[in-house]
Amino acid sequence: MSPMVPHSPSLFVLCLGGPGSADLALSKLAELLGLEAQFVEVPEQFKGRPTALQTLAPGAHVIALGQAILERCHEEEWFSILLTDAPFVFVYGLRPDEGDFRGLRWLTDQNVFSVVCAGVAQRQFTVASDVGLADLPVSGRSFSGDCGPAVAFSVRPTESAVSAYISVNGQPHFVGVARGRSVLFLLAGDELVDIGAAVPRTPSLRPWYAQLIAVTIFLRRAFGDRCWTAPVIGANMVVDDPYLKRRYGFVHYETLVDELARIDGALTIAFIPYNFRRTSHETAELLRHQPQRFSICVHGCDHTAGEFSSLDEEWLAGTTACALERMEAHESLTQMPYDKVMVFPQGRFSTKAIHALKACGMLAAANTNPVPVDHDENPLAIRDLLEPAVTRYESFPIFLRRYPRDTFDYAFDAMFQKPILAVEHHGFFRSGHKELARLVQDVSSLRGKVMWMPLGTVVRTHCLVRRTGDKQLALRHFSSQLFYRNNSQYGVALSIEKPEQEGKVKAVMIGDQGVSFFVHAGLLKYSANLAAGEALRAQIIYHETYRPARRVSWQYRLAASARRLMSELRDNQLARNERLLSFSERMKKMWFNSRTSGNGTS
């Protein structure tokens, strides 16, 4: 069913009287994948092939158009020839209230009759197992949604020319249709989502999963390795809060390490720097010999409520510096390294905190919530949540984590080339390791190049590549450190870029050698050549790095100590008694709220 495309074609979006909102939305999704859409205006009264399309050779173009263009042009000869010569055609905005579908029936040779409503109740979307992309992580998987009325196609029931790539409650929602040498992609529904729009207050992309997946299937089928693609999808389970003694709550490190080896998983403890003197040397000795499966990262500093949601820049810089000093002291005491990745306590942070993390030399943050407390000043766009990491603030990467509620969410992340980061607390191990084993198995079963690794390795290795020419690749990374290996059988020339602010970068080092670079339009750019099998290690050096001292009051110290004591009492002693656990939580909040005012500075 897939046509042969000898050269990478261009994407042309046909539009009436200039691009509409759906046309623009499609172009933004294409740009997200590293492609460029060219708008071709078809005047209302114009008869004949538009000038921009007159010299195209067969197979040199991919066509996208809305329903209005289809109904307007389907009887014109130039239009029929244009579509016949295109290896891929995408039609969107097909709604049940638009016309009599003569163009749709013409286009599909009467295999698709119309568009119908599929109801407004709870719906089940299913992605087919075979959509022509062997490594599509969402293939064969389903998700539920209840966001507005669903729309589906009415098709010839026994016609093999129609393939339902995405169905809703068993009805075809996104289909592929063979048409001569071409493949048609038809998406039922209204407007495409504008990924440049601000995210809703509750930042979930699930309402748009179906159409985002559909458009991505079309673009990746049409353009292949010209799209941004992660060479490896890193996966990791982050467990918040435990210190490193033989046991913390339901976490038993000896059996946990054995289980990670058995299931081929990787886990990172979000370690509270306050506990830097409390690690058992025996436990540290056990864990530090598992660098491929186990690591620790930075979880706040004292882990007080909202300590990184402050807007006080001095407090945030001092607290970040204190956290790093404690982690370095812990490494000195235990010889156990740590990942320079911040997990914010309670998931709360401000944009000022991001500035402090970058200035103090952190590599990234990993968080369940992508929205800072002061987000109104610079709100996130939907596009930010589709990128491998949110880099809107200070060009600093915030990788997003999910609780293991629905594996489809992880499949969606992998489809958009995002690392798979799970998050839980010690209670996840209440019944032993069976839930961890199930999670690792489910994630590992996703199609694609999923590999379990420690969090710091995920951050340093995650990048996107796309082919730009013969033995030429573009590469985009997100952290200030990059590790990339050329696994091809030939040497490649890399054009490398990273989201970055102008005036911040002092040097770019590849190995121990500085290389030339420039920053323009929010991207740091440099280049490298790699032989077959050769590895690249790059590091970005910044002008502004500092670690100011932190001053806190004795009241703050007392409250922070009490909070840690009560949290550990809850996790280690009360976790098996729900009534006592609830009472402990109330007492902890009352104590901390009564003893802590502001950020605790003196």
Q: What is the mean pLDDT of residues 537-542?
A: 97
At 601 the pLDDT is 45
Whether pLDDT at 410 is above 90:
yes
Residue 42 pLDDT: 87
More confident residue, 528 or 201: 528
pTM recorded for the entire structure? 0.91
DSSP letters of 457-471? HHHHH-EEEEEEETT
Mean pLDDT over 155-173 rounds to 85
Cα separation, 273 vs 299, in Å, equals: 7
Q: What is the CATH number of domain 463-542?
A: 2.60.40
The string of pLDDT tens digits covering residues 346-374 is 999 999 999 999 999 999 999 999 999 99
Is residue 582 very low, low, confident or very high in pLDDT (cuts 50, 70, 90)? low
Work out the mean pLDDT of the chain and round it to a whole number.
89
User: What token pair was written down for 448?
Assistant: 């694609």
Bridge-partner residues for 13, per DSSP?
39, 64
| Banded model confidence at residue 566, pLDDT cuts 50, 70, 90 | confident
- Place 6 in a pLDDT band, splitting at 50, 70 and 90: very low
How distant is the alpha carbon of residue 162 from its chain centre?
A: 31
Interhelix angle 209-223/407-415, nearest 10 degrees: 40
String of b and e for 551-562 (b: at least 16 CB within 10 Å)?
A: ebeeebeebbeb
Please give the Cα distance from 519 to 502 (Å, whole number).
Answer: 6
- Owner of token pair 């200039």: 18
- Least Cα distance to 220 among 450, 448, 485 occurs for 448
Q: Residue 280: name the closest of 241, 319, 244 by CA.
A: 244
For residue 294, pLDDT over 80 is answered with: yes
Contact between 341 and 459 (Cβ < 8 Å): yes
pLDDT in tens, 68-114: 899 888 888 889 999 999 999 999 999 887 667 899 999 998 899 88
Residue 552: both structure tokens together: 């806190």
Higher pLDDT: 2 or 461? It is: 461
Tell which wins on pLDDT, 114 or 517.
517
Tell whether the model's pLDDT for residue 556 goes beyond 80: no
Supply 409's token pair: 């969410």
3-state class (DSSP) for residue 381: strand
CATH class of 233-461: alpha beta
Over residues 566-581, the mean pLDDT reads 67
Residues 245-262 have a mean pLDDT of 95
* Distance in Å from the first CA to the final CA of the chain: 71
439 vs 199, more confident: 439
* Residue 185 · residue 88 · CB < 8 Å: yes
Residue 49 is predicted with a pLDDT of 78
445 compared with 148, residue with greater pLDDT = 445
- Read off the pLDDT of each residue in 285-313 and give the average, rounded to a whole number: 94
Q: What is the pLDDT of residue 4?
A: 39
- Length of the chain equals 602
Name the CATH superfamily, with its identifier, for domain 10-226: Class I glutamine amidotransferase (GATase) domain (3.40.50.880)
Sequence-ordered list of residues with C-beta below 8 angstroms from that of 272, at least 6 positions apart, any chain: 241, 243, 299, 300, 301, 302, 303, 564
Is 201's pLDDT higher than 80? no
Highest-confidence segment of 3-17, 195-209, 338-352:
338-352
pLDDT tens digits for range 440-472: 999 999 987 899 999 999 999 999 999 999 999
In percent, the amount of the chain with pLDDT more than 90 equals 68
- Token pair, residue 22, equals 């759906």
At residue 156, φ and ψ (nearest 5 deg) are: -65, 120
pLDDT score for 304: 87
Cα(555)–Cα(559) distance, integer angstroms = 6
Residue 569, pLDDT score:
76
